[in-house]
C-alpha cells in the first residue's frame, strides 16, 4: 500500500525565506526556515529523491507529463540568501530561484512584518489596546511574545492596502516604541551586485513586487504598478525580463484575477503561490504553482515525509 501511495507525479516546490538561526532576534522569527546544517541536509535528500529543476525547465517537464520534480525557491531577498544559502547550493551543485522585492534592494529598510515584531519585542509594556482593530486587549505572551506577533501580523494581512500605514503608526504609538529607525534595515537585504553574482552562478532571479503588499488588497492601478515596476527594475539591473513571480503572503486570497492580468501584461510565464501542496500535471495552472513552507519546526523525519509523500500534506 505504501508503495502505491508513494507513486505521485508532478512538481513539488519548496519555499524558504531565511537560512540561519533566529537566536534572540527582535525581528520576525517565523522567517527563518532552516539552519545552515538543516538546509544542507534537506538539499542532499531532495537530490537523492527527485529531479531538481528550475522554472525554465517547466515547458519540458509539462510536455512530458510524468515524473517527480522539485524546485527550490526563496522569497523576499534577505542577505543570508547570498551569504549562507548560495555557498551551500553551489557546493551541492543545485540551483534555486530567488524572488526579490525590488524596493528593499533599491532602498533598504525594515519590512512591515519585521517592524511589527520589533515593536512587540522591544515594547516595555505587557500588552496593548487598539479598539479600532481588536475587540479586547492583547497581552504579550512571555518570554518571546510570539503569539502577539502572529496576531498583529494576521490583522495587517487582512487590511486594505491603504489602511496599513495607519495601522503601523497606531501600533508604534500603543506599544510605546515609535517607528523603527531607517538604519535597522540597511544590511538586511541583498544588493544588486549580490544578485548579479547569484545569477552568474546559475540561480534564477524572479519578482516579488516592489514593496511586498498583499496584492489583492490593492486597487488595480496599484497592483499594476507593483508588478510592472518590479519587472522594470529586474530587467534594468539584471539584463533580462521578469519571467517568474511569487505572490507576497501567497495564500489563495492574496492574489486575484486583476493580479493575473497584471502578470500577463508584464510577460510573466509562471507565478508561485504559498499555501502548501504540490501541483499535479493534470491540474496545472501557470499562475498558481503552489509551494510548501519550510520552517525550523520541520524536523528531519517530517521533511523527508513531505518530500516523498507530498500528496498526504497538500
Q: Scanning the structure block, which residue is given the C-alpha cell 503608526?
A: 169
Residue 6 has a pLDDT of: 60
- The per-residue pLDDT for 2 is 46
The mean per-residue pLDDT over the stretch 86-95 comes to: 98
Sign for the CA dihedral angle at 268, 232, 253, 308 comes to positive
Q: How far apart are CA 31 and CA 45, in angstroms?
A: 22
The pLDDT confidence band at residue 5, using thresholds 50, 70 and 90, is: low
Chain centroid to Cα 170, Å, comes to: 26
* pLDDT at 182 (0 to 100): 79
Could you give the CA distance from residue 208 to residue 222 in angstroms, rounded to a whole number?
A: 14
* Parallel, antiparallel or unpaired: strands 68-76 and 10-16: parallel
Residues 86-93 have a mean pLDDT of 98
Query: Could you tell me which residue, 129 or 312, shows the higher pLDDT?
Result: 129
Q: Which residue has the cell 517537464?
A: 61
SS3 204: strand
- Other Cβ atoms closer than 10 A to 309: 13
CATH no., domain 2-108+188-312: 3.20.20.370
- Give me the pLDDT at residue 1, please: 40
> Could you report how far apart the first and last alpha carbons of the chain are, in Å?
19
Given its phi and psi angles, is residue 77 left (phi above 0), alpha (psi -120 to 50 degrees) or beta? left
Determine which of 4-8, 147-151, 235-239 has the lowest per-residue pLDDT on average: 4-8
Span of 2-6, 72-76, 158-162, 236-240 with lowest mean pLDDT: 2-6
Cα distance between residue 55 and residue 285, in whole Å: 13
The domain ranges of the chain are 2-108+188-312, 112-183
Distance separating alpha carbons of residues 114 and 26, to the nearest angstrom: 8
Distances (CA, A) of 81 to 37, 74, 172, 240, 256: 14, 8, 29, 21, 29
Q: Where are the alpha helices (DSSP H) in the chain?
A: 2-5, 36-49, 58-64, 80, 86-92, 102-106, 112-122, 146-158, 164-175, 192-200, 220-238, 257-266, 300-308
Q: Which pLDDT tens digit goes with each residue over 289-310?
A: 999 999 999 999 999 999 999 9
What is the pTM (predicted TM-score) of this model? Answer: 0.95
CA distance 19 to 15: 11
Amino acid at each position: 500500500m505504501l508503495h502505491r501511495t508513494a507513486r505521485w507525479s508532478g512538481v513539488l516546490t519548496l519555499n524558504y525565506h531565511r537560512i540561519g538561526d533566529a537566536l534572540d532576534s527582535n525581528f520576525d522569527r517565523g522567517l527563518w526556515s532552516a539552519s545552515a546544517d538543516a538546509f544542507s541536509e534537506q538539499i542532499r535528500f531532495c537530490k537523492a529523491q527527485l529531479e531538481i529543476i528550475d522554472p525554465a525547465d517547466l515547458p519540458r517537464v509539462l510536455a512530458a507529463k510524468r515524473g517527480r520534480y522539485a524546485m527550490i525557491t526563496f522569497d523576499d531577498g534577505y542577505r543570508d540568501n547570498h551569504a549562507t544559502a548560495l555557498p551551500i547550493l553551489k557546493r551541492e551543485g543545485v540551483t534555486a530561484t530567488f524572488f526579490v522585492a525590488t524596493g528593499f534592494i533599491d532602498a533598504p529598510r525594515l519590512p512591515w512584518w519585521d517592524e511589527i515584531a520589533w515593536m512587540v519585542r522591544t515594547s516595555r509594556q505587557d500588552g496593548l489596546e487598539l479598539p479600532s482593530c481588536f475587540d479586547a486587549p492583547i497581552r504579550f505572551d512571555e518570554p518571546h511574545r510570539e503569539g502577539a506577533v502572529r496576531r498583529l501580523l494576521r490583522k495587517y494581512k487582512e487590511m486594505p492596502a491603504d489602511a496599513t500605514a495607519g495601522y503601523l503608526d497606531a501600533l508604534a504609538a500603543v506599544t510605546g516604541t515609535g517607528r523603527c529607525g531607517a538604519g535597522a534595515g540597511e544590511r538586511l537585504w541583498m544588493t544588486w551586485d549580490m544578485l548579479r553574482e547569484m545569477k552568474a552562478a546559475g540561480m534564477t532571479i524572479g519578482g516579488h513586487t516592489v514593496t511586498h503588499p498583499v496584492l489583492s488588497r490593492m486597487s488595480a492601478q496599484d497592483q499594476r504598478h507593483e508588478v510592472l515596476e518590479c519587472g522594470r527594475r529586474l530587467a534594468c539591473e539584471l539584463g533580462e525580463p521578469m519571467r517568474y513571480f511569487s505572490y507576497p503572503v501567497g495564500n489563495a486570497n492574496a492574489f486575484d484575477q486583476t493580479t493575473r492580468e497584471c502578470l500577463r501584461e508584464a510577460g510573466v510565464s509562471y507565478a508561485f503561490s504559498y499555501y502548501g501542496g504540490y501541483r499535479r500535471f493534470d491540474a496545472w495552472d501557470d499562475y498558481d504553482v503552489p509551494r510548501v513552507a519550510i520552517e525550523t519546526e520541520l524536523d528531519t523525519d517530517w521533511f523527508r515525509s513531505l518530500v516523498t509523500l507530498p500528496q498526504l500534506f497538500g
